[in-house]
Structure 1
């Protein structure tokens, strides 16, 4: 089940909200838990048992870690989580590479990736680590911990919410009409990003990336990767905003996950604005424990490469994701050690152009089905093959030009600045009218369109 569907918006969500607000607070968590499990089981019912096993493991390990305060027990808990995660996400990749390296013929059944396993695994690990560090107490209430791991607004694609961030909210949270409206507004804006921009850009990107890279022209490769650059941002940030909005409707305050990353002037800044909860996870649980930036320079670079290797591996079981992660590790290391000062002294236009080129190249590795395709695609991007430019430009501009312009404009912090110019009742009326019109327009699109992919389900 996806948020950007008529079934979710007009049946599942209203049903949850109705029951949630009818019953007293002592039953609200149980209601949310029940619907969260239904939400998760909707696509792959068998994997609900995997979710329940994960809940039981982490509930038991949390209590055990708090009681014994043993590093060995912590590592047992972490390894149990990573074993389940690794089996489903990486076993095929590992067997494939063993066969290729040693000319063996091992086989393993192809396993569908459980939806959201990357996200709820990291949440569970952060919970165990925080209990061990005594940053939070182990949760004694099984329902509350179950809800933390399975809460449907942020279950399948984040943000990665740490237990200590919502521990108190699991016990008590405030519900107000203003908070509910704010949640509906954020949800609608995120839904608009997904339905109006991401889906259109995804259709364009798929059309181009489905062709052999060697048969593309330079113009088409740039159109394709620009479309994907917009698709992945509005798809993922839109989903994150929908999660934040849904959370607010139920009284939760989730951490923000995106902060206009495409306006960045360094690659380091880009990753402080993109998928911020994942970056914070790696910083607090990998980078800093390794010594962070308070060690010898050579160890700083070692720490950076470990983090970025793991970032690539986390995103997918493929060599192109590993290269994608290391690509950013190299750029951030270079910014830190070689050209960072020169970059800061450069004109703003140069800084921004460098970052735009960097993330566009990075997205080629991310979108390509394999490393060979990515290399061929990049070669075409810079091959100066400008056949059929006029014909292609006219066709794609008529089909997708307006959506691409809307996407580029919406990737800039223009909307919040415009809203900040309005004050009091005038702002409320104008923004409310805009949100209602946007919601109506989204509904029409959902009723008339069947193309509705979601990128991060496969991660």
Structure 2
């Protein structure tokens, strides 16, 4: 990471100096992007690439076992966006290497985003103000994210891992398979949005205001809308640095539109991990987003409830592929969901898992909709001028913090899904 910081600092200065001299500036930009993405490829994808070449060609190249540098996917994308925006003139080049270092290595964002652009935080790096207002809001935001991760996501993780593990040894019943897929849909949302809340909260505590990364994605009525609400900063990164340079949707024919979407969504899948399941997951998103664009799905006169059911069905199916260790496992699990594996319909385990985690399921369903936002706003607004409610809110947050800490201290199952990407 230190090498990356100084390399991109120097490249940024050279790109800014020569950007008006088209060929020289473009050369330094291509050099910077190639080196950054090349390092990412070596550490994250080289083993996967060699392994598949060996299988296809019957070769026996040694597969390197490289340790993945922490946060490499995120800090590489931040570095690339800094170089491109400098070349385009969207941001001024930074002459202080420590500021570039702070941007690339800022610890709350390092592991799982949000992906900030340099021009969005450059002024904050130089002149941010730390206030009690920001600190208190940031603290509440951090504790809320901590609760989402530790209480809801981790509880869902226990259910998910047990059901997926059961399916390895035998075909689980239909209801149990659906419960596992729904639980994972909730787990991954509260895992990642919880982490984003914590990162945004720490940023506020230190005087930084970062972009929002989630906007209740499970209320979406199409896959296109889902990706406007899920991992927003990553979607915008691919849109600005891949989709639009290829021509976006303003191309001369539909073939080019399909090509542009295919490139973006295969890359999105591959970015998440070096496995064929991620490639297939990205391709699944491409198929449905291309379909929606070609028929103008969001403008069709179809009842919103039906659109919502369609979107949740596709999202849920995609997460099963995303969660599976390989395509064979994904295929087996999906066949169990639809009763295609000669599996039963009901299992007593289904009722047991629901009964043991009913509080977490109810909390997850409420918190994944804007209802939770409205309740929070009502409590805050209603508390103004009323001492009881004004005291109740901070005590609720403090209570949530101590409950979350007790779960961590007692060693509750605690997997972070996005850390491995």
- TM bucket by the smaller chain? over 0.9
Q: 3-state SS of the aligned residue for 1:235?
A: helix
In the alignment, which residue of structure 1 is the partner of 2:251?
A: 295
Residue of structure 1 aligned with 2:12, choices 48, 55, 62? 62
Instruction: Give how far 1:413 is off.
Output: 1.4
In the alignment, which residue of structure 2 is the partner of 1:191?
A: 146
Residue of structure 2 aligned with 1:440, choices 383, 398, 402? 402
Instruction: Give how far 1:166 is off.
Output: 0.4
Instruction: Give how far 1:212 is off.
Output: 3.9
1:162–1:205 Cα change, 3 Å: same
In the alignment, which residue of structure 1 is the partner of 2:105?
A: 150
In the alignment, which residue of structure 2 is the partner of 1:457?
A: 419
- Cα offsets for 1:209-230 (capped at 9, x unmatched): 2234453222221111111111
1:311-326 to structure 2, matched below 5 A, reads 311-326=268-283
Residue of structure 2 aligned with 1:262, choices 213, 218, 229? 218
Number of equivalenced pairs:
408
In the alignment, which residue of structure 1 is the partner of 2:338?
A: 382
Residue of structure 2 aligned with 1:282, choices 238, 241, 248? 238
Q: 3-state SS of the aligned residue for 1:211?
A: helix
Instruction: Give how far 1:428 is off.
Output: 4.3
The question of 1:367 aligning with 2:319 is answered no
In the alignment, which residue of structure 1 is the partner of 2:126?
A: 171
- Cα offsets for 1:169-193 (capped at 9, x unmatched): 1111011101100000100110000
1:339–1:161 Cα change, 3 Å: closer
1:412–1:52 Cα change, 3 Å: same
- Cα offsets for 1:111-159 (capped at 9, x unmatched): 2222211111100000000100111111111111111111111111100
> Unaligned 5+ residue runs, structure 1?
1-50
Structure 1 length-normalised TM: 0.86
Say if 2:215 and 2:229, in contact at 8 Å, map to a contact too. yes
What root-mean-square deviation, in Å, do the aligned CA atoms of Structure 1 and Structure 2 show?
1.5
1:18-57 to structure 2, matched below 5 A, reads 51-57=1-7
Instruction: Give how far 1:252 is off.
Output: 0.3
Q: 3-state SS of the aligned residue for 1:115?
A: coil
Say if 1:219 and 1:386, in contact at 8 Å, map to a contact too. no
Structure 2 length-normalised TM: 0.94
- Cα offsets for 1:34-64 (capped at 9, x unmatched): xxxxxxxxxxxxxxxxx11111111111111
